[in-house]
Amino acid sequence: MDSGAGEYGMARFGFLVVLMGLWRFSDACPESCTCSISRIVCIDSEPGIEDFPVLTLDDMENITEIHIANQNRLFDISDSSLRNYINLRNLTITKTRLTSISSDAFYNNTRLQYVNLRDNNLSMLSWRTFQNFNISYPLLLAGNPLDCVCENLWIKLRLQEEMESSELTCTDERGVTMDFATLTPPDCVVPKVEVIPKTVTEMEGGNAQAVCTASGSPVPLIQWNLDMLSTHFEIESLDMENSLSLTGLSPDDNGKVIVCSAENMVGQDEATLLLNILFPPTIQHLLSPERDHHWCIPFTVTGNPKPVLHWYHENKLLEEQDYIRTMIHESTENEDHGCLQLVNPTHIHNGEYRLVAKNEFGRDEKTVLAQFIDPPNISHPDDDYYPDPPLPPLDDSVAVYVVVGIAGVALTGCVLMVIILKYGRNSKFGIKGSSSVISNDDDSASPLHHVSNGNNTPSSSEMGPDAVIIGMTKIPVIENPQYFRNSGSMLKSDTFVHHIKRHNIVLKRELGEGAFGKVFLAECYNLVPDQEKIHVAVKTLKEATESGRADFYREAELLTNLQHEHIVTFYGVCVESDPLIMVFEYMKHGDLNKFLRSHGPDAVLMADGQHSILVELTQSQMLHIAQQIAAGMVYLASQHFVHRDLATRNCLVGENLLVKIGDFGMSRDVYSTDYYRVGGHTMLPIRWMPPESIMYRRFTTESDVWSLGVVLWEIFTYGKQPWYQLSNNEVIECITQVRVLQRPRTCPKEVYDLMLGCW
């Protein structure tokens, strides 16, 4: 099939998909409501609604605003009514017969910014309804027949500094209406709680006791949060006091914070108890040496207080120096994970290593045999290069998925290699702008010169400001004309750039900023047939100089030619006035690096304190991501394009784990530590570059294949920075000596073999 017919077929298929999506959306939207991509409005009283509209899960997740009015059959909001509207920001329910709201009604709606509940039939409203997030906006309740009762006193405390409070009234048991600000029900006091002592310091196996005392009226309910506690406990309850007895204190509970809470109908208060459990050291793991940039003997040690560590080599105390020292990579309340690092060890360092850990309560020791070898090449015996414990066996269905995924990645890699053989030596374009990739001039391939001692050592002035010092050797990093300079284009002669009217673009919020200008989330009207508006990402040009405009148009023509399911869609430009704008497809979940980190073992560090329901990515999902990126790179190679900055930060994630290659130019600002600054202005992604790209003026399809291998490594480490433990100069030294990244702990051997094949 020719490319024109293929594109026509894909367009027709996409059109049918859009039609099916619109049909599904309109079918699920109630008759009294209007539903768009991000908004639901229900204001028609007939036939009316009894509950919130139930759309598809994806459609509900896209809704940010709901407006409901004039509904005579809406009486309550249950726990499940808004459960799937997780991105809801604005909620208006007015002039309905709403009488009750469940205490967990807004449990999943942590992004709410505006709540308007005016003119309904609410007589009582619990503080528990809003306990899952901090309300920093007015809560509009005027026009409701609120009762002057203790259950509603929290509203007065919440609104006492807001203008809304002057409009609120309540009705007492005699039917008398009064200003809400004067509400003072008898025996109605917010709880206060105190825990004594605040910290427990005891030996493991010992016992401890703490008392939680509360005040408030009505009498508050006192509770200890003990769900994650390993130590045996008993609770003795009195009216205003709870006594917690801990027996056989477990070291697993060291550093844990136990919360005591007291709540009544007026509100809630909390206090904490910190457990400081003392125990002697235990060396849990002491493993055989592993090779990374340097040799490393890994260990895991527990103990409180933190134990002091001493190493012995052949029963002789080891004096730590710059070339042999203890490195702690990760530290928690109970454990230290680290290694004994040895820089360039020789045969004299072979032998028995003994680790001794001591604190004031005891000691532990373990030994391991070390046999050091010369720096490895990329072909490693399995026993030397795979020190990680074997991965747990998968069940049959997951195993099949993984095997199929590995086969898919392997097949894509094979196709990529074929294309390299066919096109690699003739690549003429980079995705940042078209230019010659390989020059036949002598100076374009001049190798890197390592100059040591002698009269021929060039001075720093001779080598220029872009030289890099590695060890005692200064290496000139050559500016690559393909990476920094635009040249003639070989775009299709019939390239047509779609022009979009300025009034059809409505900016919503800023997504980021790069050297070129800002990127915004926007709504674009009349862009897709039969769809009023869609979300897009727009890239603006900060300075519309003559050269800047020329680059802008050249890039627009280049992007117009890229049409693939795993390349971010370029819709067109808007050049009616400054700033000049490029319009791209909007990918909901942002860049892949952030997505990986927020779905990995360290996701809690990315949550910003918010309630998170994100789950860790599985191996099959990581393989699916890798296959999509490989497919996109196969397409770029077939089109004679060289990306030159392939990394997870430059890939975007959409719905249903759809991954596309794209770069809005923001990554060099957001991920500045991923780039190496040369000469004060040039930024190089050296951690993703092969030796020939660092040492010579050479960016080819082959160098993109190297970067693809690094991207696979990023995926299976949940977004870690390659060579994260090394400085930029050490990374350059490491790569130019043909050393490679170690196999990630979660990576199957077959996938790591693919990485090695890329390198």
On whether 630 is known to bind a ligand per the annotation, the reply is no
**The two three-digit tokens of residue 390, written as one number:** 């074997």
On whether 710 is known to bind a ligand per the annotation, the reply is no
| Residue 58 is among the residues annotated as catalytic for this protein | no
On whether 513 is known to bind a ligand per the annotation, the reply is yes
Non-local CB neighbours of 380 within 8 Å, separated by 6+ positions: none
On whether 511 is known to bind a ligand per the annotation, the reply is yes
Q: Which residues are registered as beta bridge partners of 277?
A: 202
**The two three-digit tokens of residue 571, written as one number:** 């819709």
On whether 515 is known to bind a ligand per the annotation, the reply is yes
Beta strand pairing call for 65-69 and 39-42: parallel
* Nearest alpha carbon to residue 281 among 218, 377, 353, 366: 366
CB 450 within 8 A of CB 473: yes
CA distance 169 to 435: 72
Pick the catalytic residue from 364, 645, 663, 704: 645
* Nearest alpha carbon to residue 649 among 676, 622, 672, 615: 672
On whether 514 is known to bind a ligand per the annotation, the reply is yes
Q: What spatial distance separates the first Cα and last Cα of the chain, rounded to whole Å? A: 34
**5 alpha carbon, distance to own chain's centre:** 39
- Cα 495 to Cα 124, 355, 429, 555, 723: the distances in Å are 65, 67, 16, 12, 41
**290 alpha carbon, distance to own chain's centre:** 29
CA distance 739 to 291: 10
CB 724 within 8 A of CB 597: no
CA distance 594 to 605: 12
CB 539 within 8 A of CB 581: yes
On whether 519 is known to bind a ligand per the annotation, the reply is yes
Ramachandran class of 56: left when φ > 0, alpha when ψ lies in -120 to 50, beta otherwise? beta
**The two three-digit tokens of residue 462, written as one number:** 């001779």
CA distance 43 to 68: 6
On whether 546 is known to bind a ligand per the annotation, the reply is no
Cis bond leading into 307, ω under 30°?
no
On whether 654 is known to bind a ligand per the annotation, the reply is no
**The two three-digit tokens of residue 314, written as one number:** 């052949």
Number of DSSP helices (H) and strands (E) in the chain, helices first: 15, 40
DSSP structural state of residue 1: -
On whether 518 is known to bind a ligand per the annotation, the reply is yes
Catalytic residue numbers, as ranges: 645
Mark the binding-site residues for ATP, compressed into ranges: 511-519, 539
**Binding-site annotation: residue ranges:** 511-519, 539
